[in-house]
């Protein structure tokens, strides 16, 4: 798993700007070597009985829980999130290892599908599920462990080998997780790690031995990856950006909706593809909602993730904070008003920004048209359901959505008409690992999580056997 190279990059705590470690950057030759190792390990791993693969996954989950405090602290230091959130991320990662190490998954992988050929006298037909080979998992910095597990664990469960590329600013917790995989008994070469920027990513994607690429990140980067993968007609899963709309209807529980909106936007400092990024509130409840969500934003404790009272950490980098400032500035220049926050927080040297609520944001503002990766919540009023559904869908994105109403017919209309891979009803930003996750439109394609993800790492072979020799 270790990558030998002469180039190193510092890993910095975004709360304090202190040096917390360093990572060796992978050259193109390093990337190629890890791919070859994964390719060479594939034959043995694919032939390993599922029960043995599953036991390794479950043992890894056990080790992740054993070292939870250590890994969470590493995650907070390199990513910035509050340690409480980091602990949740480690726990969810362990849960993913457990989930795909169950007998249920084994039964699904061994099931035999029938075809019409079964009814032809003298012939037998069957469908065989085959793993793909060496796969690439390209992971962003906002959830370095859970997003890695969403790709890595189903790939391993189905008999594939994997080369993981964590973000160069958050590699440490991910590397520790993979070390634990090997401690749990993973055979040599089954999982490799490469670290670097666009050059390392391109070397990984373009290599002819890579059969599948799974990527989570921005839509712009996803398009570039798709172009590279097209050269080799590689299988792709792209989980890209979002600009999720939350619709709060006239009959909604405004207290619960405001609470959920604050969690949905300010969790992980708003640095989540599935975060609540646009809120449309019926005009009759608009003022009350704005007052409640603004109060929550103004009172949200922000600071170093190791402070037990902190609920929101810093943005991950200086460019990230400058990007958020640009979104706020653009909205205000177009007529939006600040109801809470709106500027940098002077806390030590870190990249802190106030939890922000903006009102009366026009539809042509960048906050409405693009994805803002930070703690800025635009709240707009609406008058009719037809109007708000049209505004919610007037975006290139389609990841998540939610509607707050007790009207069952309206709930079902939202399920049918909102362009999104996920719709919550009277809930927000709650992921269920047993349901498939992924977007539509420019939020990507392919599914992660659930049992549906298994098909992303398998190819089907049809077999027909005749009784005549």
Catalytic residues: 239, 273
- C-beta atoms surrounding 427 within 10 Å: 13
In the numeric block, which tokens belong to residue 116?
């019409």
Distances (CA, A) of 399 to 108, 280, 281, 311: 27, 17, 20, 25
At 403, which helix (H) or strand (E)? strand 400-404
Hey, what's the torsion of the CAs at 424, 406, 285, 326, to 10 degrees?
10
Using left for φ > 0, alpha for ψ between -120 and 50, and beta otherwise, residue 185 falls in left
- Nearest to residue 407, comparing CAs of 395, 415, 418, 399? 415
- Token output for 154: 């189903």
Contact 177, 67 (CB under 8 A): no
Tokens 């990662």 label which residue?
A: 93
Tokens 């708000």, located at residue: 388
How wide is the angle at C-alpha 288 spanned by C-alphas 287 and 291, nearest 5°? 85
- Sign for the CA dihedral angle at 391, 393, 399, 404 comes to positive
Q: Where are the beta strands (DSSP E) in 108-209?
A: 123-131, 134-138, 161-165, 191-193
67 closest CA partner among 190, 177, 185, 206 = 177
Angle at the Cα of 118 from the Cα atoms of 116 and 123, rounded to 5 degrees: 125
Q: Which helix (H) or strand (E) holds 24?
A: strand 19-24
Phi and psi of 304, rounded to 5°?
-60, 135
Between CA 370 and CA 468 the distance in angstroms is 62
* CA 419/CA 414 separation, integer angstroms: 9
Cβ neighbour number for residue 113 with a 10 Å cutoff:
12
Q: Measured between alpha carbons, how far is 51 from 415 in angstroms, rounded to an integer?
A: 38
Please name which of 183, 174, 192 lies closest in space to residue 90, comparing C-alpha atoms: 174
| Contacts of residue 43, Cβ cutoff 8 Å, sequence gap at least 6 | none
């Amino acid at each position: 798993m270790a990558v030998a190279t002469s180039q190193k990059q510092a890993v910095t705590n975004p709360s304090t700007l202190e040096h917390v470690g360093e990572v060796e950057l992978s050259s193109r030759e390093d990337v190629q070597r890890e791919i070859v190792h994964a390719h060479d390990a594939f034959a043995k791993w694919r032939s390993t009985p599922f029960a043995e693969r599953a036991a390794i996954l479950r043992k890894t989950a056990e080790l992740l829980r054993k070292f939870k405090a250590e890994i969470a602290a590493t995650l907070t230091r390199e990513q910035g999130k509050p340690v409480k959130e980091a602990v949740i991320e480690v726990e969810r990662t362990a849960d993913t290892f457990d989930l795909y190490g169950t007998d249920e998954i084994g039964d699904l992988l061994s099931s035999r599908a029938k075809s019409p050929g079964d009814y032809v006298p003298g012939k037998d037909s069957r469908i065989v599920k085959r793993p793909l080979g060496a796969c690439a998992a390209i992971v962003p910095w906002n959830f370095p462990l859970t997003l890695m597990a969403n790709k890595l664990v189903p790939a391993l469960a189905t008999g594939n080998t994997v080369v993981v590329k964590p973000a160069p600013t958050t590699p440490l917790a991910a590397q520790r997780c993979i070390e634990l995989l090997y401690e749990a008994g993973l055979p040599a070469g089954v999982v490799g790690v490469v670290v670097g920027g666009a050059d390392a990513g391109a070397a990984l994607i373009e290599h002819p031995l890579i059969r599948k690429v799974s990527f989570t990140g921005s839509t712009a980067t996803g398009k570039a990856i798709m172009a590279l993968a097209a050269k080799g007609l590689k299988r792709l899963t792209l989980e890209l950006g979002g600009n999720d709309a939350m619709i709060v209807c006239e009959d909604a529980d405004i207290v619960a909706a405001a609470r959920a909106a604050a969690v949905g936007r300010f969790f992980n400092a708003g640095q989540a593809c599935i975060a609540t990024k646009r809120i449309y509130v019926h005009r009759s409840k608009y003022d009350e909602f704005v007052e409640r969500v603004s109060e929550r934003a103004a009172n949200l404790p922000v600071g170093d993730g190791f402070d037990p009272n902190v609920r929101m950490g810093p943005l991950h980098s200086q460019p990230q904070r400058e990007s958020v400032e640009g979104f706020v500035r653009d909205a205000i220049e177009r007529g939006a008003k600040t109801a809470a926050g709106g500027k940098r927080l002077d806390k030590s040297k870190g990249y802190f920004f106030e939890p922000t609520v903006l009102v009366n944001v026009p539809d042509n503002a960048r906050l409405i048209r693009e994805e803002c990766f930070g703690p800025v919540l635009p709240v707009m009023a609406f008058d009719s359901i037809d109007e708000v559904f049209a505004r919610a869908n007037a975006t290139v994105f389609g990841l998540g959505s939610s509607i707050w109403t007790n009207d069952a017919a309206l709930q079902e209309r939202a399920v049918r008409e909102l362009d999104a891979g996920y719709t919550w009803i009277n809930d927000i930003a709650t992921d269920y690992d047993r349901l498939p996750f992924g977007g539509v439109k420019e939020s990507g394609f392919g599914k992660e999580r659930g049992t549906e993800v298994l098909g992303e790492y398998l190819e089907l072979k049809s077999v027909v056997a005749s009784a005549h020799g």
